[in-house]
Amino acid sequence: MAAKGMIYPFEPSLIREINTDPATSLKDNVSPQLRRVISYGLSSYGYDIRLSPVEFRIFRHVPGTVIDPKNFNPQNLEPTELHTDANGDYFILPAHSYGLGVALEKLSVPENITVICIGKSTYARCGIIANLTPAEAAWRGHLTLEFSNSSSADCRIYAREGVVQLLFLEGEPCAISYETRQGKYQDQAENVTLAKV
């Protein structure tokens, strides 16, 4: 299903290192420059998606305001810079803070599948909690990803590398799919989508 468009772009194997110089390849008798990455792609029973480099926002305190999911104030979210060094592209999630990113991959979930999103152990061991909601049957778009840094240190979250794992549950097609009921988060773009009612 993934190869037929359920996940795009789709990586049919688990990627743990990438060639940092695409101009070189083994066929040219030149050893590629490889860099270890936080794994992404197809795993044993799931799929590890990547964080998009397009956008990452961090909640900040705006005096006199309260975060209200029925009337969300976008000023409570501050865009953060994408950094780059020899280890890759990354955002910094400050200690004891909460941030929103977006998946690089676009999902088109069939009507007989529901997707559960869970955190990757590499980030969990750094104090990053992925607080993700399911992608329901017939949902489409780029997932907005939610992260809490429970540690007392700032933490990097790498773009274009694995950030959460998707687990797929198959059943009979549901009576009323996300598309049928016209869910409010359908067809999300590759940008952070804010809370709405």
pLDDT at residue 25 is higher than 80: no
How high is the mean pLDDT of the chain?
Answer: 92
Q: What is the pTM of this model?
A: 0.90
Give the tens place of pLDDT for each residue, 107-131.
999 999 999 999 999 999 999 999 8
Q: What is the pLDDT of residues 56-100, one digit of tens each?
A: 999 988 888 888 899 888 888 999 999 999 999 999 999 999 999
Give the whole-number percent of the chain exceeding pLDDT 70. 95
pLDDT of 27 reads 61
116/103 Cα distance (integer angstroms) = 14
Six token digits for residue 120:
């990757």
Half-sphere exposure of 160 (CA within 13 A, CB side): 15
Strand locations in the chain, DSSP E? 7-8, 14-19, 34-42, 46-50, 57-59, 77-79, 83-85, 88-93, 98-102, 106-108, 113-119, 128-130, 140-141, 144-149, 155-158, 162-170
What's the average model confidence in pLDDT over 142-150? 97
pLDDT of residue 160 exceeding 80: yes
Position with higher pLDDT, 62 vs 135: 135
Q: Sorting pLDDT into bands at 50, 70 and 90, what band is 165? A: very high
Average pLDDT (139-164) is: 97
From the candidates 146, 170, 172, 190, which is the catalytic residue? 146
136 noted as active-site residue = no
Sorted by where each starts, the structural domains of the chain and their CATH numbers stand as: 2-21+30-170 (2.70.40.10)
Residue 29 has pLDDT above 70, yes or no: no
Average pLDDT over residues 150-154: 97
